[in-house]
Structure 1
């Protein structure tokens, strides 16, 4: 790191300012929008336990971060288009681009839930849908037609489940918007939400089978247990949230009401699957950092571990309301507080990294 210099008037030297305002974006992680995902959902988790001030503060952080990351991403596309393309078709890094779609959907959900900005929610929903279409068929087509492919143990990780999260983020926002629409548009949004919810569930089953197979039948080192493995739980948590919103919308949508038992059964199925992962991931984290002494340092991928904690709190709360399971409310409050603590730790580590290495 180059030294920080200051003149007699206390102004920061030109080299440091150049790095701050003209950052090196070549190696920017495609998954950095996970920070927006994590901040947005922790904001909603804070709101549901009565911390409205914290919720609005995090809402502002999510919005500003979203704009900054889009600026950096566009700058990276302009300066390093080949590097961006190689990341897009890379088995380990490509799935990180799905954080852009998920972040757009979650930010839209914040606009609707916290601020009642339905118009902005609609704009972000359409943006998320277009991003989902482009990224889904670009990434999975590239993975399919590549001539040189990694083996399963080197080519798949929990980050692949970000495709599920992106899909369910669109379903969640569609359900939230449907409540504010007239019957024709409302039915269409509920149908799209149901379709995306079902597709996200099917994609999870496909991918989780491969991930679990990789877990149990290939050598597993501490470096293999990257933070996005928490998406194993987070993908089920957001699927639970989407299902809970569909159950609530079924009161006004006849076609949803006719399949209400199916919606309720699968929503609990998703929640139970996600809950099963929590102890498993904690045990693996203990094995990685305590038993194997793998260093715990800041990585943008850690936002992918904060997001599932906040999503579990919000999803459990919504499911408890939809199914009248009042005994779950204590669980939602506990996870909301845990998610806020995890967000603070990760954000603090980010600030420390930026101070140590500006630009």
Structure 2
């Protein structure tokens, strides 16, 4: 069996690799490690190109399997990693190289993918006849829709800083709208996920890595809010609601911070108490991304809110995310080596 034949079973979550790599590249740029930032940027770009080719091939060659995953309660939301990954490529280009038109092209593609996936996935999940029960159908992966929405908000805010009026105003309005919509979507979904947590049986196998998106979705919401605060002087309507944006940005950050100890405790319960085995899974990139995003969002929030007492957090989480990324990347390389031997 060729490598392309293997795409028949390609997980929709693999663009999480690009997301995780991209945000850690941004965090490295913030922490003044330009070599690491540019190296990870290159890796994320290569990953995006390879995965874009493989997913396009799968969509054409194995259209039935692709469509089945797209309208699945368990796998459909994972396709939103394509939106977040594309937007993060644009954000890296903007922050590392200040290439406006490349970033703008990535923004257009991310926005198009967001529109297609949002109204395809959620329409399909709404009208399909046979639906799973809540405990079987929902997971932390659903919050990737929030991450994708906020990733577009982040890139919109970044591009707005280099855009002349009146388009600067409109881009900031789009960023604000996406930020608010992402927050509302999180409230809807998190209510269901928390209900699933506390009122249904929870086995070690149920605690998949995408549950870290519980925190990651709040972290990227914090990043988007912080950028809106920074952009406020050049957008009068943002200036008028600046206290509101500041309040919700801190709200998002505090919620994301609350999740970190909770997820660590549940991870210890899963792997130490219940002895659930470790093994490489593409879903683990969904656990790497939130750590890098927490570093990046806290760094920008400190600038926007002028909080000096949290200075050490971005650095700590940058090195932690880099360590976890390295371990997960090693697992990916081992998995690819095994796959090559099977071909």
Q: Same fold by TM-score, threshold 0.5 exceeded?
A: yes
For residue 177 of structure 2, the aligned residue among 195, 199, 214 is 195
Unaligned 5+ runs, structure 1: 1-17
- Partners of 1:23 and 1:286 lie apart in 2 by 37
Q: Cα RMSD between the aligned structures? A: 0.8
Matching of residue 19 in structure 1 with residue 2 in structure 2: yes
- After superposition, residues 266-281 of structure 1 pair within 5 angstroms as 266-281=248-263
Q: Secondary structure at the match of 1:87?
A: helix
Aligned counterpart, 1:9: none
Please give the alpha-carbon distance, in whole angstroms, between the structure 2 residues aligned to 1:79 and 1:267. 44
Residues 156-215 of structure 1, C-alpha deviations (whole Å, 9 max, x = no match): 000000000000000000000000011101000000000000000000000000000000
Question: Offset at 1:77?
Answer: 1.0
Question: Equivalent of 1:125, from 100, 103, 107?
Answer: 107
**Once the 2 structures are TM-superposed, how far is the Cα of residue 19 of structure 1 from its aligned partner?**
3.3
Alignment of 1:299-310 (within 5 A): 299-310=281-292
1:350 pairs with 2:332: yes
Residue 144 of structure 2: aligned partner: 162
Q: Which piece of structure 1 moves more, 156-165 or 45-54?
A: 45-54
Partner SS, residue 24 of structure 1:
helix
Counterparts of 2:21 and 2:138 in 1: how far apart (Å)?
26
Distance in 2 (CA, whole Å) between partners of 1:56 and 1:322 is 25
Structure in which a larger fraction of residues adopt helix = 2
TM-score scaled by structure 1?
0.94
Q: Secondary structure at the match of 2:166?
A: helix
Inter-partner Cα distance in structure 1 for 2:273 and 2:339: 30
Secondary structure of 1:250's counterpart equals helix
Find runs of 4+ consecutive structure 1 residues off by over 2 angstroms. none
2 CA distance for matches of 1:305 and 1:23? 28
| TM score, norm. by length of structure 2 | 0.98
Secondary structure of the 2:2 match is: helix
- 1:212-261: per-residue Cα shift (whole Å, max 9, x none)? 00000000000100000000000000000000000000011111000000
CA distance in 2, matches of 1:195, 1:305: 27
Instruction: Give the aligned partner of residue 313 of structure 1.
Output: 295
> Is 2:40 the partner of 1:58?
yes
Give the length in aligned residue pairs: 341
Aligned-partner Cα distance in 1 for 2:172–2:165: 10
User: 1:296 corresponds to which residue?
Assistant: 278
**1:1-359 pair list within 5 angstroms:** 19-20=2-3, 22-358=4-340
Counterpart Cα distance in 1 of 2:35 and 2:104:
25
> Cα offset for 1:79?
1.2
Structure 2, unmatched stretches of 5+, are none
Secondary structure class of the residue paired with 2:309: helix
Q: Deviations for 1:264-297, whole angstroms, at most 9, x for unmatched residues? A: 0000000000000000000000000111000110
Deviation at 1:23, TM superposition (A): 4.6
Rounded to whole Å, the distance in 2 between the matches of 1:125 and 1:108 is 6
Instruction: Provide the C-alpha distance between the structure 1 equivalents of 2:32 and 2:327, rounded to a whole number of angstroms.
Output: 22
Report the Cα distance in structure 2 between the residues aligned to 1:132 and 1:121, rounded to whole angstroms.
16
Structure 2: how far apart are the matches of 1:163 and 1:278? 20
CA offset digits 1:289-322 (Å, max 9, x no partner): 1110001100000000000000000000000110
CA distance in 1, matches of 2:31, 2:136: 41
Larger radius of gyration: 1
SS at match of 1:50: coil
**How far did residue 50 of structure 1 move?**
1.2
